[in-house]
Amino acid sequence: MPAECVIGVDLGGTKLLAGTVDAGLRVHHRTQRPALADDPKGDAATVLDALIAVVDELRSTAEMEVVAVGFGIPALIDQTRGVAVMAVHQPLAEVPFGAIMSERLGLPVVVDNDANAATLAEYRFGAARDSHTAVMLTLGTGIGGGVVIDGELFRGSQGAGAELGHMVIETDGPPCFGNCPNHGCLEALASGSALAREGLRVARAAEDSALGQALAMGQEITGALVTELAHDGDRAARDVIALIGMRLGVGISNLVNIFNPDVVVVGGGVMAAGELLLEPARQVVAQRALQPSRSHVRVVPARFGAESGMLGAAALALDAVEKRAPA
């Protein structure tokens, strides 16, 4: 068994997933919990404390020496300073994240946007492997994005690039979530939060459906419930997922036209809907994207599912260890 390992941490809008990972990207221990523990209105200190607790838990159970920690967080990262400049779903604006975590943990720390981390994992080891140009969308509470061009993550001039979930696909659409000031973003229309909102709307309108009956029985209409009922065959739930898929397809069509990618990988918790979501999206891409891109691109699910971000964060940490190793 290898003598060293790293910890990869994926912080989402509502979920925190972390694991102890060796140099072969094998996960030895995992832990998952709500992103803000029992305090959904927590501040930056609350989030940082939760992350420290997760890392400490994994270090205590690791059978190897932990030599670095990689964090994927839902924030725009200034890579030159390791600062979380702005976050839509977490209270991390202007937090010197890298320096704080490294000092508190006593370990080398690498931090990047959570969707960038997921994209890296899928590009190197997963559904985008062997591609030249790849795009990834992570559908969870919000929508993250990542782009790989010529084997390198595209981060833009300041590290704030590839915020693909905040492209506007409906100018008069609903307000976006969290700290985003926009309306009609892909995130507002095709994320897990949007899935739950549309599910509630349809449940109220279709009282005889399984979705409507669940509402009448007092169940909370969540994205996970809509997905479960859709897989069980409820037509109303399937229609909701198809609507989200068509909206997703509009966003993917824009990305196909802009980047001419070999592959668009779709990951995150919403992908539990599988082909019920992806097939409507592909149909829209076939109608809207330009040639030759639309005939070339593949739209596929993430290989690593909800673990893409954690594995990508671990890969970033492994990269940092390799760079520090003596020649």
Cis ω before 96 (30° cut-off from 0): no
**Which is the CATH superfamily of the domain at 131-302?**
ATPase, nucleotide binding domain (3.30.420.40)
Fold of the domain spanning 4-118+307-324: Nucleotidyltransferase; domain 5 (3.30.420)
Please determine whether the domains at 4-118+307-324 and 131-302 fall in the same fold group of CATH: yes
Task: Give domain limits for the chain.
Answer: 4-118+307-324, 131-302
Residue 275 CA to residue 227 CA, distance in Å, equals 11
Write the pLDDT tens digit of every residue in 158-184.
777 899 999 999 999 999 987 789 999
| The token pair that represents 104 in the structure block | 């508190």
CA distances from residue 231 to 18, 142, 269 in whole angstroms, order as listed: 28, 22, 15
pLDDT band at 13 (very low <50, low <70, confident <90, very high): confident
The upper half-sphere exposure of residue 45, i.e. CA atoms within 13 Å in the direction of its Cβ, equals 0
Whether the per-residue pLDDT at 203 is higher than 60: the answer is yes
Q: Which pLDDT value is given to residue 71?
A: 95
Instruction: Report the alpha-carbon distance of residue 104 to residue 221 in Å, rounded.
Output: 39
User: How do residues 271-298 score in pLDDT, each as one tens digit?
Assistant: 999 999 999 999 999 999 999 999 999 9
